[in-house]
Chains A and B, each alone.
Chain A
């Protein structure tokens, strides 16, 4: 435990920007776990007497056209937005990671099938494919998660494949093979643990994109429905009030979205620098 803590402190002190990103991620974690029980107002309680108020001491982020407190809604939405992104990233981590590792390790037809699937997905503009998948599977949150995962599949499969194929003939794998381990056992207990850290970095790097993708889908009216508190849909609701000057409705959820994406991008870059210093740009 103390070794892990020491390593975490090293990671944070190595690069102050990464430390900052860790702080932000902690904030997001707090907002999504205990946030809903801390917010000052009910995120769904409308109060038409206090509609469209600019930010003030009473309502930090102002109120929307139904008089709902935007600060409360932004905080409560953290859980849903980060939850969707995390679920899709975990899903593609398992799907893409396993498929890619198997493709790189076994080669042959498995490699060709995984490669062909990844190429086909990459032949689409990714957001457009996500739209098509949600439209076909049905317009709900679960399908947003699936669509975001599918769209990210090639990234994971390719990274996992490249890393696994390097290690296929590595000394420790050969040693394991000579001591009588089966191929699947080698894959799961020897190759997979070595590819794992790189895939975790990939998760952090794509988490930001997953949040953007999910929020973009709900911005155009897919998945999450009003009156649910979700950043993308809140920006969409505020969009029609921008031209008349009520900026706070769209600004605060948009800023929260930006902050979350920024945080995960920085975190991913920082983690990558530590795991693989050569790729630092």
Chain B
């Protein structure tokens, strides 16, 4: 198992290098002269030159790249022009909000999509199969910000059952003490049930929005993979041995059908992390996505760059995790290593 982990880590290194290189190229591609840009429109020629030296933009590109990597290794991502805060601290304080939202969305999505896919595969051609197809096609076609707004209108304005779409917690509650940064976990750890319920209520709509969007690939893959496994010889043998429906479908078939589903999780995360930005804007969620959007509007580049880098590193790490999960589920992968 250790060997598998080491091997996957080695595979992830080129991806990380690529990510760092691309974010570096993106900073150099800033329209116009970055020094003049950072100096502001009213700066004199001399001030621009000073800033150029200060930012290290007078050095040759390879030197600049080396400095950039060195700063990254020290955990420096620059300073935001609008807030004056280091980008790293902002991202670290806001990351748990985004992570909680994304994970909640993924969990809701898996809880709905996997049973739906299994049921559709065990009864091909039935109404549940057709429903699965319609739901998944509609799910990928719905713009995620549109779904979010429809949810807000129906559940907040019309039915009045959801709280106002304004962040992680209603203003009447104070945030739980920071332990993990996840409000749901922190409020439970400190035994504050009221805050837990309030935070869960705020989380429900945005998480459901993300879930609708990511439902399709999981449900489709579960259905296709279950169909293939259910028609295989060992399932027929299990059936003819008189095992119960549950044992055949869940214990025998589902465990084998899980592999392709786990693989699609990589793509699902790519969708989720991107959709997260839009959902955060709709629900005024104080995550790193809305931080990046605010910075984008203000043409403040350092936070955007930090955000892109964080997301990419996170995504590479998630893919690594999926690969490892793969090895846990499938002993054959372990043997290959």
Contact = CB atoms under 8 A, between A and B. Distances in A.
Interface of A: 116, 119-120, 122-129, 131-133, 135-139, 208, 212, 215-216, 219-222, 232, 235-236, 238-239, 242-245, 247, 250-251, 254-255, 257-258, 261-262, 265-266, 269, 281
B273 A131 contact: no
Summarize A's interface: helix, strand, loop or mixed. Answer: helix
B296 A258 contact: no
A229 to B, nearest CB: 17
Given A125-B270, A125-B312, A242-B153, A120 B18 contact: yes
Given A120-B18, A247-B153, A250-B149, A136 B30 contact: yes
A135 B301 contact: yes
A137 B25 CA distance: 11
Interface residues of B, number: 58
Given A139-B296, A239-B149, A257-B146, 14 more contacts: A116-B14, A124-B311, A132-B308, A135-B304, A219-B278, A220-B296, A236-B145, A239-B145, A242-B153, A243-B157, A258-B146, A261-B142, A262-B141, A265-B137
A257 to B, nearest CB: 5
B34 to A, nearest CB: 10
Nearest to A208: B141
A132 B278 CA distance: 15
Summarize B's interface: helix, strand, loop or mixed. Answer: helix
B19 interface: yes
Given A126-B274, A128-B274, A258 B145 contact: no
Contact of A257 (B29, B138, B143, B297): B143
Contact of A216 (B145, B156, B304, B307): B145
Given A220-B296, A221-B296, A127 B275 contact: yes
Contact of A124 (B165, B282, B292, B312): B312
A119 B296 CA distance: 26
Nearest to A122: B270
12 contacts: A120-B22, A124-B315, A125-B274, A127-B275, A132-B23, A135-B296, A139-B296, A208-B141, A220-B281, A236-B145, A265-B140, A266-B137
Interface string B58-75: 000000000000000000
Contact of B26 (A136, A255, A266): A136
B15 interface: yes
Interface string B264-287: 000001111111011001100000
A248 B153 CA distance: 11
Contact of A131 (B15, B146, B275, B277): B277
B293 interface: yes
A265 B311 contact: no
A261 B138 CA distance: 9
Nearest to B308: A132
A128 B144 CA distance: 15
Nearest to B220: A281
B157 A133 contact: no
B27 interface: yes
A119 B281 contact: no
B316 interface: yes
Given A128-B277, A128-B308, A265-B140, A235 B296 contact: no
Contact of A220 (B165, B277, B301): B277
Given A242-B152, A243-B165, A128 B273 contact: yes
Contacts of B157: 242-245, 247
